[in-house]
Amino acid sequence: MNVTMAIKRFNPETDKEPHVREYSVEVKPTDRVLDALMDITQNQDGTLGYRRSCAHGVCGSDAMRINGKEKLACKTLFQDLLESESDGATVEIEPLRHLPVQKDLMVDQGRFFEKFRSVKPYFVPRAEVPERGEYLQSPEERALFDEATKCINCAACYSACPILDKNPEFLGPQAIVAAARFVYDSRDAGLAPRLDALDTENGVWPCESHFECTRVCPRDIKITKLINLTKREIKKYREQRGEKTAEPKKG
């Protein structure tokens, strides 16, 4: 079947404004959006910019907005996007939001990864070496942070978040998921500095539970739930120490 790929193009070095360019592509219902993008760059227009690497939903590099929703191009089939298999459908493709466009569908992920790094997304070992040199953990303890290990840093949630529309300084859903991965790890000794990074005016507190991040996550991570659990953990931690959280007063 023939589809029109309406792609938002922008090269900050040469264009004043973004513009939409349409490409006609022959696809099968089981083709992925990434197949059509590769067809365009190989056969019609080699100047189209987009990222991709694994092509199998693992690396997170080809997240973009497809018909207004954040998705991985390599995991999105035309049969799941289009109502019928007849010719003439249009598929709209745009870059992710909340990050500056480098070229066409490629965004500058610098600020996204800066926020990710700010929550110390790595294991901090305890000072004392455990017996037999192993950090033991029960299956139940492991299950507590299993959900958060699935993140592939694709930034779909960052683009979908309505809080970042009004507050670009908000830490964003992905960084909180990355922090939760370690907050709930019984072996980790980095809780205090990690919670300090989260418990700030623009840390976890701006989240209003709109669930947009959860709706678009290609790994089906229950992001909003993890954010709310992290808020609860911060409150418990501060209460135990007789301290106040940085949560702004409501009203």
Rounded CA separation 182/189 (Å): 9
- Cβ proximity to ligand SF4: between 5 and 227 the closer is 227
Restricting to residues 46-65, which ones interact with ligand SF4 according to CB under 6 A?
A: 60
User: Which residue in the set 3, 25, 64, 155 belongs to the binding site for ligand SF4 (CB under 6 A)?
Assistant: 155
| Cα separation values, 234 from 8, 177, 226, 247, Å | 41, 14, 12, 10
* Under rule CB under 6 A, residue 5 binds ligand SF4: no
Report yes or no: 99 and 8 within 8 Å, Cβ to Cβ: no
* Under rule CB under 6 A, residue 54 binds ligand FES: yes
**Binding segment toward ligand FES, per CB under 6 A, in 48-56, 171-179, 205-213, 226-234:** 48-56
* Under rule CB under 6 A, residue 153 binds ligand SF4: yes
Restricting to residues 67-86, which ones interact with ligand FES according to CB under 6 A?
A: 72, 74
Report yes or no: 207 and 197 within 8 Å, Cβ to Cβ: no
Is 248 exposed, middle or buried, given 0-12, 13-18 or 19+ CB atoms closer than 10 A?
Answer: exposed
Rounded CA separation 161/109 (Å): 16
- DSSP β-bridge partners for residue 72: 63
* Under rule CB under 6 A, residue 246 binds ligand FES: no
| Min dist. Cβ of residue 58 to ligand FES (A) | 5
Site string for ligand FES, 7-46 (x = CB under 6 A): ----------------------------------------
Rounded CA separation 156/177 (Å): 13
User: Which residue in the set 33, 61, 78, 172 belongs to the binding site for ligand FES (CB under 6 A)?
Assistant: 61
The entry of ligand SF4, ligand FES, none near residue 57 (CB within 5 to 8 angstroms by kind) is ligand FES
Rounded CA separation 102/184 (Å): 36
